[in-house]
A and B are shown apart, each in its own frame.
Chain A
């Protein structure tokens, strides 16, 4: 549901540095208007919204309304510039969160309680896979991220090549990297990977072989630099 604009605009001057959105985020009428218009257009298919005032908009729509939403944003709201389309795998990595030696569950074994719950990001989410795209309105200079949940038993979504011709390569990449099927895509084949490659490398349960062969020293490496201050001791 669209975030309602905060009723009375807080006109009290705030200290810019310290006013990091406490309870009342600053209103962003332009972005809210777009979200409301989208809510009117696709109705209950809009399942989640999130606005970072002055920065960004994220909306989550039902899978069936995926191409309808993109077409609406392009043709009506003027989001004509395609930034990218890709996917997210929200599964907590079965190899440990940081893929570091101490947390490597494959090597050290793990308890069920170690397994963290699946988190989801802005505008929420219920499923492991999400497809997300970003469009930009080059007249108002506002970007918008659109997400859609994909159920685990049918990881597919309609292709939007008919709306944005340029999405063809992005969808091919998401297909090979995440195994997401794009219905009615004209030429769904591997973009980067060699023919016959098995698996979907960007899925969280796809092991990074280099790390399996030789565990990363990880946290062990972080030592104070001799004579260094607290600037950083990591990764230099």
Chain B
């Protein structure tokens, strides 16, 4: 019995071994086959991917886990602002262009107004310049605060974004109490501002700036030292300086590649940045981590700029003398400013009418995003999210 049993078992074992050998050979053949005829896969991200502020569709061709080529497909938010500005009077244009980068709306208005002021040879009074600069920096803080939290979400950390939404609200409240709008202030006017600051606003804002500095410290503790954050961001998505310039990257994306250039310091037109003491932050690495680091430092620096300007705020009117119906003399002017997302500029061509003849809107995200096909080539799929998030674009700012 036992013999028979044992023999039977042995036989069974032998046949199992033969089977195993057969299976493993088959598998080896199959692996070989896979290597010979690799079949790429097309991964379609979006148009409603949460990593995008807006609707971006990304078609990525994959080889295993690696991206072979990536094609962003835009246009889901194209609103034709360049055409619409041709049928709007100059004061009406600000209503539209508010909505380009909807997280830092006030900053969108400023370069256009400055370009119109250049054509009209009007200059805003000092107090208006100061308030403009303060609101500009508040927009920057509100805008980048969301990025600082959102980047955590892309890496699986949910807490920072709640902190960001909580603390951004303080800044938005300050913007709202001046302009009446949380997101779309429509407050900047050719020749100055719509109104002066409300009573007690300066002290409130200073308190908010303290809160925002705490917010930056908190995020620095929470995210920057985090092991997972470092592993996912260090050395990922490196942009060399040459490429960054050639693709027209700007803002923190450019400074994270080590370029020491900031329009606020170097090409300052009609703003009060020269009146305060501040620093341009750069990082030599050019990777996702550097971009996050630079933005965090810039947010903190912006709170310092706001504090200084609030202290040195001159008295006086906030509006220069301008005609009631604004006709801008014929000419061309280009003014760009350092917006939260990067350099934004308006090339305004006027022919002496109520409406501009052509407005070319140069937005930061468009250029920042145009490097993505080059940058995403060869990266792993999970890094696509990190890289896109660290480039920080807003779809309204790409599509216009």
Residues of A whose CB lies within 8 Å of any CB of B are 20, 55-56, 58, 80-84, 86, 88-89, 93, 97-100, 119, 121-122, 132, 134, 138, 141, 143, 145, 164-166, 168-170, 177, 190-194, 201-202, 206, 208, 211, 216, 219, 222, 230-236
Complex CA distance for A97 and B121, rounded to whole angstroms: 23
Q: Can you list 13 A-B contacts with CB-CB less than 8 angstroms, sorted by A residue number?
A: A56-B334, A99-B355, A121-B332, A132-B347, A134-B345, A138-B245, A138-B266, A145-B334, A165-B246, A168-B370, A177-B82, A211-B87, A231-B319
CB of B210 closer than 8 Å to a CB of A:
no
Q: Is there an interface contact between A98 and B355, defined as CB atoms closer than 8 Å?
A: yes
Complex CA distance for A177 and B331, rounded to whole angstroms: 23
1/0 contact string of B329-366 vs chain A (CB within 8 Å): 01111101000000101010101011100101010001
Complex CA distance for A98 and B356, rounded to whole angstroms: 9
Complex CA distance for A83 and B335, rounded to whole angstroms: 12
Residues from chain B with a CB closer than 8 A to the CB of A236 are 91, 194
Within the complex, which residue of B248, B319, B347 is in contact with A166, where a contact is CB–CB below 8 Å?
B248
Q: Is there an interface contact between A169 and B324, defined as CB atoms closer than 8 Å?
A: no
A226 → B minimal CB distance (Å): 14
Which applies to chain B's interface (DSSP): helix, strand, loop or mixed? Answer: mixed
Residues of B whose CB lies within 8 Å of any CB of A are 74-75, 78, 80, 82-84, 86-89, 91-92, 95, 118, 121, 189, 194, 242-243, 245-248, 250, 259, 261, 266-267, 319, 322-326, 330-334, 336, 343, 345, 347, 349, 351, 353-355, 358, 360, 362, 366-367, 370-371, 374, 399
Closest chain A residue to B370, Cβ basis: A169
B335 → A minimal CB distance (Å): 9
Closest chain B residue to A211, Cβ basis: B87
Residues from chain B with a CB closer than 8 A to the CB of A232 are 91, 189, 322, 324, 326
Complex CA distance for A20 and B370, rounded to whole angstroms: 40
Which applies to chain A's interface (DSSP): helix, strand, loop or mixed? Answer: loop
Residues from chain B with a CB closer than 8 A to the CB of A80 are 242, 245-246
A233 → B minimal CB distance (Å): 6
Given contacts A141-B267, A164-B246, contact A98 B354 (CB under 8 A): yes
Within the complex, which residue of B86, B194, B332, B362 is in contact with A122, where a contact is CB–CB below 8 Å?
B332
Residues from chain A with a CB closer than 8 A to the CB of B360 are 84, 86, 88
Complex CA distance for A206 and B326, rounded to whole angstroms: 26
Complex CA distance for A164 and B246, rounded to whole angstroms: 5
Residues from chain A with a CB closer than 8 A to the CB of B194 are 236
Q: Is there an interface contact between A166 and B80, defined as CB atoms closer than 8 Å?
A: no
B210 → A minimal CB distance (Å): 34
Complex CA distance for A235 and B334, rounded to whole angstroms: 24
Q: Is there an interface contact between B325 and A58, defined as CB atoms closer than 8 Å?
A: no
Complex CA distance for A194 and B89, rounded to whole angstroms: 29
Closest chain A residue to B267, Cβ basis: A141
Q: Is there an interface contact between A83 and B362, defined as CB atoms closer than 8 Å?
A: yes
Complex CA distance for A164 and B249, rounded to whole angstroms: 12
Given contacts A231-B324, A234-B324, contact A81 B355 (CB under 8 A): no
Closest chain B residue to A86, Cβ basis: B360
| From B194, B261, B367, residue with most partner A Cβ within 10 Å | B367
Complex CA distance for A230 and B320, rounded to whole angstroms: 11
A133 → B minimal CB distance (Å): 10
Q: Is there an interface contact between A97 and B353, defined as CB atoms closer than 8 Å?
A: yes
Given contacts A232-B189, A234-B91, contact A143 B248 (CB under 8 A): no
